[in-house]
């Protein structure tokens, strides 16, 4: 098996199992929130059990970042420095966007 096939299998496993884990976590959070909800509550978002669903959403959002990180590590291990530089640049751009977006999201939440 060559390196390209190995990378593809690792990425496929990461995305497949990560998607199932995130979807299961979201479903579990929603199920627990519906079980714990009272008919008088108008908003499920205020329930403490919604943290589980929010964790699943965060996992789903982090999957592409983990994919780029995995590619970076594999490229560095294989000593393919050109592709590792590109993957590192993509990861840096993603992290920069997160850092720049945090003040905007905290202002909207407050």
Q: Spell out the domain ranges in the chain.
A: 3-109
pLDDT digits 0-9 by tens, 75-106? 898 898 999 999 999 999 998 998 888 787 76
> Which has the closest alpha carbon to 15: 51, 64, 49, 50?
64
CA–CA gap between residue 93 and residue 17 (Å, rounded) = 25
Handedness of CA 18, 21, 27, 30 (dihedral sign): negative
Element (H, E) at 5: helix 3-36
pLDDT digits 0-9 by tens, 10-62? 888 888 898 999 999 999 888 887 777 665 555 555 667 678 888 898 899 88
Q: Mind giving me the DSSP string for 86-109?
A: HHHHHHHHHHHHHHHHHHHHHHHH
């Amino acid at each position: 098996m060559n390196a390209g096939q190995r990378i593809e299998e690792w990425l496929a496993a990461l995305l497949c199992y990560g998607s199932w884990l995130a979807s299961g976590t979201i479903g579990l959070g929603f199920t627990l929130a519906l079980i714990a909800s009272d008919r008088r509550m108008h908003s499920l978002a205020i329930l403490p059990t919604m943290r589980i669903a929010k964790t699943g959403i965060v996992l789903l959002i982090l999957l592409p970042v983990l994919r780029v990180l995995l590619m970076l590590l594999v490229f560095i291990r294989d000593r393919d420095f050109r592709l590792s530089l590109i993957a590192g640049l993509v990861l840096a751009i993603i992290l920069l966007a997160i850092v720049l977006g945090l003040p905007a999201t905290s202002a909207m939440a407050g």
